[in-house]
Amino acid sequence: MSAETTTPVPAPSDFIRDIVAADVAAKRYAKIVTRFPPEPNGYLHIGHAKSICLNFGIAREHSGHCNLRFDDTNPAKEDIEYVNSITHDVKWLVSGWADHCLGLKTKGATPALQTINGKADYYVPPVPQSKIENQESKIEAEPFFASAYFDALHAYAIELIKRGKAYVCDLSPEDTELYRGSPDKPGRNSPFRDRGVAENLDWFARMTAGEFPNATRSLRAKIDMASPNIWLRDPLLYRIRHTHHHQTGSKWCVYPLYDYAHCLSDYIEGITHSLCSLEFEVHRPLYDWILENLDLPRPLPKQYEFAKLRPSYMIVSKRKLLQLVNEGLVTGWDDPRMPTLSGLRRRGVPASAIRKLVHSVGVTKYESVTEIALLEHAIRDDLNKAAERRMAVLRPIKIVLTNIAPGDSIECEAVNNPQSDTPTTRKMNLTRDLFIESDDFAEVPPPKYFRLKPGGDVRLKYACIIHCDEVVKDASGAVVEIRCTADLTTRKGGPNSDRKVKGTIHWVSSSEAIDAEVRLYDRLFTVAEPDADGDFRRHFNPQSLETIGAKLEPALAHIGADAVVQFERLGYFTLDAIDSKSGALVFNRTITLRDNWAK
RNA sequence: UGCCCGAUGGUGUAAUGGUAGCACGAACGACUCUGACUCGUUCUGUCUAGGUUCGAGUCCUAGUCGGGCAGCCA
């Protein structure tokens, strides 16, 4: 029982896909290859989902592939925990949709040097999908890692030095900043800018050998200190960091910077379209400069930028999400209130609903805020078709059907999913004592109240119509039970089964009900843009979690661990993957049903 | 007061010089053994000013507003 739907949706169209389509038409590349390049320094969130869906979507639409590559060039901030969670999340999001496009490499593989037209060319091929799936000659595959290219990157750096395009600079970080100037004022050349090739080679070798402390020297591209683009003012390529790396251990003490590593990693993997968010727009000339100045033999990758996903009522910043975790505002990265993929998954949001959201949001260069309603609609739309229905009473109130004898049990047939083309059914037993939702009874009903009220009738779904005869209260005036008579002639197949009443409510037999903990979630923040004033914590919603004890129909004891079910008339719920135990079930509310009445 | 990018209803997005459309949302109504779903009706838009053109959301110029860039982060 899976919550995934497989309804085909037309391939989207946007400015990036137009570019790819034009490149395909012009036969510029043999195959379309994209990549999703997270830094393993946090969990993936819904913002990343946009990038994943875009990159895998394009690969899928052109029978190409999309490499999962860890951009792990800064060991100080990264951790193996994150590479594991990210790998898991990417596979989950793409599963059943673009699994076949996931580009992986042979475990342990590093780029091999080949010669094309007399030019040196590093390349690391992906593992063919057939080799991963083939049971006999199965190859162990893993994601790509920028750190697997450190040797190649280092060799390219030496090449840049030899071409007079890079130099070792002895300026301190502070002086480097001073020399860089400011956006409206040109920088000044470093005093070390004009060292000879041999000298640069020697210094770089000594940097690499670990002769110098952190940050005492750097390798810089020799471009233009007066450029109006800051990123062209002799940007750093390598820095000294005596730090253990989660993949390469203590092999290196010099680590490449993003701008240098990224374009070359793309090239080494044969990426054709390198898609990133808008803030890298000003880096694009540097991306191109590095590749062009190496005079590489194969077609170069091109970078294109698009606007990030910014959903309302959420924050999507790894740093700030980490803050929520560290400060204990949530239970962890996978707290069901978190906008992380692991949180959404635990909450019960299907991957297909996230893909649906991304599809409806589109891809542009306009930095918009996406209303959370769009996500909610995608989830409901997906789950309405996929989720089986069950009955659960969240806030029980006792009903006694006085004309049913104690111990009697009347079998009722309930439909599992009315949206299904071939609906199946299950049995539920109507007994003398029941629970209904306390909201479904009103002693003093408001106008146009359809549900149970003194002297009124209501239908118990899949059972029969009942009439409210008496409201029993305790000494304090609180309602303890409601005594009703059941009109068994209104059962399905009975002579009065067509009798109409305005309200139909859900119920469970009190003798058969099972108990469960139910966690009701609401948005994490109380305002649409929690970070607009710089302090998102001020807008934390203290009511974002409510835990209650509920009464469930017995069939709920047997649902699948990752199934999402609709509690009839209430919303969609799923078993909590961490805390739920057999015999002590814990349900998470994924989302409520739309409720026009409540408004 | 440097460089780069952007602007279409409340929100997101389409229209690639030729009827401003779709979705979400909201309001109302129909249907209903889920006040859900579905269906119907309604609502609201091309940032401003010039120019090119038979014709401009689209092209040009200027402006306005918003975002990004001065990590040895990515």
Nucleotide showing the shortest C1' distance to residue A445 CA? B35
pLDDT value of residue A599: 56
pLDDT band at A458 (very low <50, low <70, confident <90, very high): very high
Please give the average per-residue pLDDT across A458-484, as a whole number: 97
A529/B22 CA-to-C1' distance in Å? 27
pLDDT value of residue A132: 77
pLDDT value of residue A4: 41
CATH number of domain containing A27: 3.40.50.620
Name the 3-class secondary structure at A512: coil
What does the pLDDT look like over A286-309, one tens digit per residue?
999 999 999 999 999 999 999 999
A61/B22 CA-to-C1' distance in Å? 22
What does the pLDDT look like over A63-72, one tens digit per residue?
999 999 999 9
- Separation in Å, CA A441 to CA A371, A402, A427, A569: 34, 17, 25, 15
A209/B5 CA-to-C1' distance in Å? 42
Cβ neighbours of residue A265 under 8 Å, at least 6 residues apart? A37, A69, A71, A144, A146, A149, A153
Name the 3-class secondary structure at A493: coil
Residues A283 and A249 in one domain: no
Nucleotide showing the shortest C1' distance to residue A178 CA? B70
Nucleotide showing the shortest C1' distance to residue A74 CA? B73
Range of the domain at A584: 514-592
A275/B20 CA-to-C1' distance in Å? 30
| Domains in chain A, number | 4
Residues A366 and A430 in one domain: no
What does the pLDDT look like over A83-95, one tens digit per residue?
999 999 999 999 9
What does the pLDDT look like over A393-417, one tens digit per residue?
999 999 999 999 999 999 999 999 9
Residues A495 and A408 in one domain: yes
Distance CA A204, CA A223 (A): 18
Last residue of a domain, one of A504, A523, A544: A504
Residue A324 inside a domain? The answer is: no
Residue A509 inside a domain? The answer is: no
Cβ neighbours of residue A205 under 8 Å, at least 6 residues apart? none
A212/B52 CA-to-C1' distance in Å? 63
pLDDT band at A7 (very low <50, low <70, confident <90, very high): very low
Last residue of a domain, one of A504, A528, A544: A504
Closest C-alpha among A378, A325, A377, A374 to residue A353: A378
Residues A95 and A156 in one domain: no
Three-state SS letters, A278-294: HHHHHHHHHHHHHHHCC
Residues A276 and A225 in one domain: no
Please give the average per-residue pLDDT across A423-437, as a whole number: 97
Residue A146 inside a domain? The answer is: no
Distance CA A367, CA A371 (A): 13
Residue A40 inside a domain? The answer is: yes
Nucleotide showing the shortest C1' distance to residue A593 CA? B36
Q: Which residue has the tokens 């600079």?
A: A169
Residues A491 and A564 in one domain: no
C-beta separation of A191 from A169 below 8 A: no
Closest C-alpha among A213, A221, A134 to residue A169: A221
Determine the angle formed by the axes of helices A80-94 and A351-361, rounding to 10 degrees.
80
Residues A475 and A532 in one domain: no
Residues A163 and A252 in one domain: yes
Q: What are the backbone dihedrals phi and psi of residue A407, each rounded to the nearest 5 degrees, phi first?
A: 90, -15
pLDDT value of residue A256: 98
pLDDT value of residue A6: 41
Please give the average per-residue pLDDT across A239-252, as a whole number: 98
Cα torsion through A278, A284, A287, A289, rounded to 10: -170
Taking every pair of C-alpha atoms in chain A, what is the biggest distance, in angstroms? 101
Q: What are the backbone dihedrals phi and psi of residue A517, each rounded to the nearest 5 degrees, phi first?
A: -85, 135
Instruction: Give the closest residue to B12 (Cα–C1′).
Output: A361
Residues A371 and A431 in one domain: no
CATH number of domain containing A159: 3.90.800.10
What does the pLDDT look like over A331-364, one tens digit per residue?
999 999 999 999 999 999 999 999 999 999 999 9
Burial of A12 (0-12, 13-18, 19+ CB in 10 A): middle
Residue A92 inside a domain? The answer is: yes
Residue A4 inside a domain? The answer is: no
The complex's ipTM works out to 0.96
CATH number of domain containing A476: 2.40.240.10
- In strand B, which positions have an atom below 7 A from any protein CB? 1-8, 10-16, 23-27, 33-38, 66-74
What does the pLDDT look like over A357-387, one tens digit per residue?
999 999 999 999 999 999 999 999 999 999 9
pLDDT averaged over every residue in chain A: 95
Please give the average per-residue pLDDT across A226-244, as a whole number: 97
pLDDT at A499 over 90: yes
C-beta separation of A257 from A291 below 8 A: no
What does the pLDDT look like over A128-150, one tens digit per residue?
888 877 777 778 999 999 999 99
Nucleotide showing the shortest C1' distance to residue A498 CA? B33
Residue A568 inside a domain? The answer is: yes
Nucleotide showing the shortest C1' distance to residue A77 CA? B73
Residue A139 inside a domain? The answer is: no
A166/B68 CA-to-C1' distance in Å? 27
pLDDT value of residue A9: 57
Please give the average per-residue pLDDT across A158-167, as a whole number: 98
pLDDT value of residue A10: 67
pLDDT at A233 over 80: yes
According to DSSP H, which parts of A392-504 are helical?
Answer: none
Residues A456 and A552 in one domain: no
pLDDT band at A33 (very low <50, low <70, confident <90, very high): very high
A18/B52 CA-to-C1' distance in Å? 28
Last residue of a domain, one of A437, A472, A504: A504
Q: What percent of chain A lies above the pLDDT cut of 90? A: 94
